[in-house]
Amino acid sequence: MPELNPFAIAQAQLDEAAEVLQLDPATHELLRWPLRELHVTLPVKMDDGAFKVFQGFRVQYNDARGPTKGGLRYHPDETIDTVRALAAWMTWKCAMVDIPLGGAKGGIVCDPRKMSQGELERLSRAYIRQVGRIIGPEKDVPAPDVYTNPQIMAWMMDEFSFMQGFNEFGVITGKPLPLGGSAGRGDATARGGIYCLREAGRVLNLELNGATAAVQGYGNAGSFAHQLGSDLVGLKVVAVSDSRGGIYSPDGLDYESVYAHKQQTGTVLGFPGTKEITNSELLELDVDVLIPSALESVITEANANNIKAKVSVELANGPTTPEADKILYDNGVYVIPDFLANAGGVTVSYFEMVQNAYDYYWDIEMVHERLDKKMTAAFHATHETAQKLKLHNRLAAYVVSVARVAEAMHLRGWV
């Protein structure tokens, strides 16, 4: 279905913002497309001795405000259009939290769950041998995303450093702490989302302590949302899920025990004392707060009317389609849109780049304080624009971010 092509969705969202902002046609057209993209073909020796050939991408969407920034996904369903959409969203995300970076994204079509550590290392190094020519701290800085992690970032930084002939820690973020990683990068995406939820609680007059929540996805974003949602604002998380399905308990789920179960068994399913539910049932639960933290296009025209949550905190990129956005808005669901809610990850990635550049590292309190300031400012810029112009929050976030990128392009004399 064309409307579920994420890049067509990203362009349609931009078109609406361009209309509100009355952008001139050239500025609008330039923002509809990536500035550059590289397609790579990667031969990798597998453990059985045979070679397998993988396809990969890196899309540099827009660098008017600074070097491009964005994660790398390893996923069997990756396509150039998902990567383009995600690169566009990174552009709006960096502008949203007002950090001096543009947007990019990369991906490799592969199933990391079926690969050994050695195969993953060789694939990651092969990717850098091709993409290395267009990345670097002054050009484009990758980071973790779906099914990539600090170990993969370490191999990539190492490969790039060998290509350069010196250690270049700042080429990539989300690195392990001993290799120039930043304190607080691990849970930054979820933490930023929970800071936004705290602010939403204030403006909506919604008591979050004891409020029920459901979290879809149990990767880096979802699992930390379970932990920090409970620890920072007192949410009672009653349901969580991963790609295999979900679990529900009206009494609430203890983070430490569910996380340990997932570590041991590879899934949240089978956690004692819970009822098994599907991922789509989880979205429709009667809870106060919904936290989609998995993949794109899960809330669509087909199920938006069944969403009962008062607030949706989008830690995933692109979980809600444009048709669903309108339905949620009409039904009074307060959406904290993806490139605001999940901007904490790239914000701490930016802090990591700054620390790498001056080779001096901050303590965790400093990271949290500066992250909170960025997220709180971005939340209120969006909320106030939505109220003033009577727009849903995603369109308001677009209006704020696109105006910032357009201003940079105008000042540079691009259009």
Residues of this chain that bind ligand GLU (CB under 6 A): 69-71, 93, 143, 145, 173-174, 317, 342, 345-346, 349
Q: Which is nearer to ligand GLU, 319 or 345 (CB)?
A: 345
Minimum separation from the CB atom of position 58 to ligand GLU (A): 13
> Can you tell me the distance from the alpha carbon of 18 to that of 20, in angstroms, rounded to the nearest whole number?
6
Distances from the Cα of 78 to the Cαs of 146, 153, 185, 309, in angstroms?
11, 19, 25, 30
Nearer to ligand GLU, 71 or 170 (CB): 71
175 classed as catalytic: no
97 versus 115: smaller Cβ distance to ligand GLU: 97
User: For ligand GLU, which is the closer residue by CB, 68 or 312?
Assistant: 68
Which is catalytic among the residues 69, 93, 105, 236?
Answer: 105
User: Are 383 and 219 spatial neighbours (Cβ–Cβ below 8 Å)?
Assistant: no
For residue 240, what are the β-bridge partners?
A: 215, 247
Q: By Cβ distance, which residue is nearest to ligand GLU?
A: 71
The answer to whether the CB of 216 falls within 8 A of the CB of 279 is yes
**Is the Cβ of residue 287 or residue 295 nearer to ligand GLU in the bound state?**
295
Structure-token pair, residue 197: 């939820």
Q: CA nearest 32: which of 296, 409, 324, 412?
A: 409
Structure tokens at 34: 């990536």
Question: What minimum distance in Å lies between the beta carbon of 351 and ligand GLU?
Answer: 10
CA 218/CA 225 separation, integer angstroms: 9
In angstroms, the CA 318 to CA 50 distance is 37
C-beta of 365: minimal distance to ligand GLU in Å?
Answer: 21
Q: How far is the CB of 46 from ligand GLU (least distance, A)?
A: 27
Q: How many CB atoms lie within 10 A of CB 71?
A: 24
Work out whether strand 212-216 and strand 72-74 pair parallel, antiparallel, or are unpaired: unpaired
Hey, what long-range contacts does 259-267 have (CB within 8 A, 24 or more apart)?
259/223, 259/226, 259/227, 262/218, 262/223, 267/242
- The residues assigned a catalytic role are 105
